[in-house]
Amino acid sequence: MIQDLLVSSVPLVLASLGGLISDFSGYLAVFLEGTLSLGAFLVWLIGVQTGSLATGFIITIIITGLIGWLLSRFIALTGANPFIAALAVNVGSQGLTETLSVLFFNTKGVLRDPRFPSADGMLFFWIALILIGTASFIVYRTPFGLRLRASGRSPQVLLYRGIDPLRYRDIAWTLAAMLAAFAGGVLTIKIGAYAPGGTTGQGWIALVIVYLGFRRVWGVALAAIVFTFIQFLGIEAQAALAIPSTLLLGLPSLLALSLYILSQVLRKE
């Protein structure tokens, strides 16, 4: 059960880490849900076409990272509202995945194919653990991490030193998009298929996890694991008590809201 819990928490851990990195830059990546969904589809598509998960992940991460970078550059050059522009990515990713699904597989429904490779879920847990440790070291122990956090908290300090804080948003949004896409790919591997809407709002929940973890790298990772554990309990309760499936679908959002309120109360105390 512990192993299942750790493996199941990986997508939320990765997406939340991406959200936290973007938050450090002062601009929370609201596009996480879109890039997570796009990553889930692209890993499936490329994995089926090439027979290689590594190729699927590499190409997917490059594409989504480019999307995050271009979005940040677009906002910087045009002055567009970051929130609205990020929401456009969420909407656009849904249309893109549906179009590609019809183009390659002639359906908008669930995609299954024996050519899609499988992988050990614990491998992704160890990768996530390495990424968390690396992120913690870079954010809190390096000059780059100091400048990244300063770009969100005190951008005028960077400007005084001749450093453009928006460049750090470019980097942060690129990394956030890449991590969310990685998370989406892990979700696809977990179920062995691509299911439209299979992200179940985890991109949005990841934004809440950023604050549940008190905006700390290890705090966010722990919050994501705890949230996944509570979801596990909810699923078990549904099976034992015959809770309506409609209520179960709303459980993640209800949990996120409840835990967020609790975290704010604890912070004030």
Q: Once rounded to an integer, what is the mean pLDDT over residues 34-60? A: 95
Contact yes or no for 153/27 (Cβ under 8 A): no
The confidence score (pLDDT) of residue 43 equals 95
End-to-end Cα distance, the chain: 34
Share of the chain above pLDDT 70, in %: 87
The confidence score (pLDDT) of residue 164 equals 93
Q: Is the pLDDT of residue 118 over 80?
A: yes
The confidence score (pLDDT) of residue 230 equals 80
The confidence score (pLDDT) of residue 79 equals 92
182-222 pLDDT, tens digit each: 999 999 999 889 988 888 789 999 998 998 898 999 999 99
Q: Once rounded to an integer, what is the mean pLDDT over residues 148-153? A: 94
- Indicate the average pLDDT of the chain: 88
pLDDT range class, residue 2, cuts 50, 70, 90: confident
Q: Once rounded to an integer, what is the mean pLDDT over residues 43-70? A: 95
How far apart CA 74 and CA 171 sit, in angstroms, is: 14
Please report where in the chains the tokens 């008590």 appear, as a residue: 241
Contact yes or no for 221/134 (Cβ under 8 A): no
pLDDT range class, residue 266, cuts 50, 70, 90: low
The confidence score (pLDDT) of residue 103 equals 87
The confidence score (pLDDT) of residue 108 equals 85
Which residue has better confidence, 5 or 179?
A: 179
Share of the chain above pLDDT 90, in %: 65
How far apart CA 43 and CA 182 sit, in angstroms, is: 9
The confidence score (pLDDT) of residue 44 equals 93
6-42 pLDDT, tens digit each: 999 999 999 999 999 999 999 999 999 999 999 999 9
Q: Is the pLDDT of residue 252 over 70?
A: no
How far apart CA 70 and CA 66 sit, in angstroms, is: 6
Query: Would you tell me the crossing angle of helices 53-78 and 82-105 to the nearest 10 degrees?
Result: 140
**Nearest in space to 44 (alpha carbons), one of 238, 154, 223, 196:** 196
Q: Once rounded to an integer, what is the mean pLDDT over residues 130-142? A: 97
pLDDT range class, residue 242, cuts 50, 70, 90: low
b/e for 33-70, b at 16 or more Cβ within 10 A?
A: bbbbbbbbbbbbbbbbeeeebeebbebbbebbbebbbe
Q: Which residues pair with 194 in a beta bridge?
A: 111
Q: How far is CA 176 from CA 3, 27, 171, 173, 185, in A?
A: 26, 11, 9, 5, 14
The confidence score (pLDDT) of residue 116 equals 92
Q: Once rounded to an integer, what is the mean pLDDT over residues 116-133? A: 94
pLDDT range class, residue 239, cuts 50, 70, 90: low
Strand spans (E) along the chain? none
Query: Would you tell me the crossing angle of helices 217-241 and 251-268 to the nearest 10 degrees?
Result: 140
